[in-house]
């Protein structure tokens, strides 16, 4: 690109940080603005797997794949399925050299990406409050009173993105399923029964009547995940549950999951710390919009979807890399943004629609004796590798 645009990235999550890293590698300056006060100022959530066909490709483009593998847990790709009485239905154990989708804690990934950037790239404590445009220049206004002018604004600001509002009126919708974040610390000592149920990777447990527990090994002896159930969005008020009172929440869960067996019941009641109530929301899918000069979005800001398939962070990383490459390779900003959005729409639309449908199907009532349609883990991993090879083969010789 002959232009030297001022690039502002709103959001210091994985996608925004990865975009900045690849842009800098291409010699394009970019600054990241994030509402958090520091990279570790809040709980970043649990673990995620980075797929060979998306997240790992982006990390390779940024030169960060070795750093990722130094932190990642290959054994975390294991998956166990049990019924709501604790009976084992199916399990998968990965080979020691299987790197199709290793696990990494979200906080570890974010910190790794941040520490690779040039000092001063990320401006913490900058919560976007307004974005206006005059004469082709975009002005970002922040809650701390500061303003910044930019030629290109990249919204990496998540599901409830303020930047996206300049592109489309689409808003996230509740998918009919709520959940409670749960955490178990020092599991081998304090929760050996739960440790045995979960194994080294992920545990799926469901009852076929709209209730499930999905938990995952994290690093440092921690297991995290969620207790999920089909409900109205205001279920706590309807049920008279005080979300700040663990006893109140546990009493509700024991009522709601009353048919669950004693083997798996500790997953509902023995968590360390507070329950954190959340809801599954997603943007309409597939979602597109007309080009708005100088503005685009990536990751959840562009295609927030249900977590089934684990695509969210992976697509955010790949979006960031592909957008950075386009800005480097195309002759103008608009050519770059058009190229990026066209490819991103095609790449993400069907994945988002499928993920949202899969979540609704998983939490729908199932016929007696039926097993939930949980993807076969071995098939998933081999598919990631096959698609990775196809993706790399499709790149032009001039790219990267």
Strand 7-10 vs strand 152-155: parallel, antiparallel, or unpaired? parallel
**What is the Cα gyration radius of the chain?**
21
For the chain, helix (H) and strand (E) counts, in that order, are: 13, 17
Distance in angstroms (rounded) separating the CA atoms of residues 209 and 206 = 8
Does the annotation flag 106 for ligand binding? Answer: yes
- DSSP assignment letter at 364: S
Q: Which residues, including other chains, have CB under 8 Å from residue 275's CB and lie 6 or more apart?
A: 180, 181, 182, 227, 243, 246, 249
Residue 178, classed as helix, strand or coil, is strand
Which ranges of 12-143 does DSSP label H, i.e. alpha helix? 14-25, 55-61, 65-71, 106-116
Do residues 152 and 136 make contact, with C-beta atoms less than 8 angstroms apart? no
Tell me which residue has tokens 């210091």: 12
Residue 172, token pair as written in the block: 């996230």
- The span from the CA of 338 to the CA of 340, in Å, is 5
Q: 């049920």: which residue's tokens?
A: 239
Whether 49 has a binding-site annotation, put simply, is yes
CA distance 206 to 201: 17
Contact 298, 323 (CB under 8 A): yes
Segment (H or E) for 250: helix 246-256
For residue 353, what is the enclosing H or E element? helix 333-362
Nearest to 32 by CA among 116, 104, 109, 108: 116
- In angstroms, what CA-CA distances link 61 with 64, 68, 300? 8, 13, 21
CA distance 254 to 275: 14
Bridge partners, residue 203, by sequence = 80, 215
Q: Does residue 286 have a cis bond before it (omega within 30 degrees)?
A: yes
Binding-site members are 42, 49, 106, 300
Binding-site members for FAD are 49, 106, 300
Binding-site members for NADPH are 42
């Amino acid at each position: 690109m002959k232009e030297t645009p001022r690039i502002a990235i709103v959001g210091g999550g994985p996608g925004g940080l990865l975009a900045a890293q690849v842009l800098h590698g291409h010699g394009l300056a970019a600054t990241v603005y994030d509402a958090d006060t520091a990279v570790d100022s809040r709980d970043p959530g649990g673990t995620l797997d980075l797929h060979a066909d998306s997240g790992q490709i982006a990390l390779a483009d940024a030169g960060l794949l070795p750093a990722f593998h130094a932190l990642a847990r290959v054994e975390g790709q294991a998956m166990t399925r049990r019924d709501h009485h604790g009976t084992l239905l199916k399990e998968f154990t990965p080979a020691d050299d299987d790197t199709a989708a290793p696990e990494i804690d979200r906080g570890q990934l974010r910190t790794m990406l941040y520490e690779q950037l040039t000092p001063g790239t990320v401006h913490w404590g900058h919560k976007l409050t307004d974005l206006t445009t005059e004469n082709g220049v975009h002005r970002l206004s922040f809650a701390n009173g500061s303003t910044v002018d930019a030629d290109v604004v990249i919204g990496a600001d998540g599901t409830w993105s303020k930047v996206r509002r300049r592109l489309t009126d689409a808003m996230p919708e509740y998918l009919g399923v709520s959940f409670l974040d749960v955490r178990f610390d020092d599991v081998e000592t304090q929760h050996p029964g739960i440790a045995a149920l979960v194994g080294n990777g992920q545990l799926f447990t469901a009852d076929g009547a709209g209730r499930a527990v999905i938990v995952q090994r994290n690093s440092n002896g921690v297991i995290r995940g969620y207790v999920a159930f089909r409900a109205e969005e205001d279920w706590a008020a309807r049920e008279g549950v005080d979300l700040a009172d663990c006893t109140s929440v546990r009493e509700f869960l024991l009522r709601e999951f009353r048919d669950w067996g004693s083997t798996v019941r500790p997953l509902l009641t023995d968590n360390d710390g507070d329950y954190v109530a959340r809801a599954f929301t997603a943007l309409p899918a597939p979602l597109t919009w007309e080009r708005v000069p100088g503005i685009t979005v990536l990751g959840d800001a562009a295609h927030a979807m249900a977590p089934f398939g684990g695509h969210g962070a992976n697509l955010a990383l790949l979006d960031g890399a592909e957008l950075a490459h386009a800005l480097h390779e195309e002759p103008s900003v608009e050519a770059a943004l058009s190229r990026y959005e066209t490819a991103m729409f095609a790449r993400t639309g069907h994945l988002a629609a499928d993920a949202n449908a899969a979540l609704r199907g998983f939490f729908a009532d199932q016929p007696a004796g039926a097993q939930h349609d949980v993807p076969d883990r071995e098939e998933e991993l081999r598919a990631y590798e096959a698609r990775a090879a196809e993706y790399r083969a499709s790149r032009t010789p001039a790219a990267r």
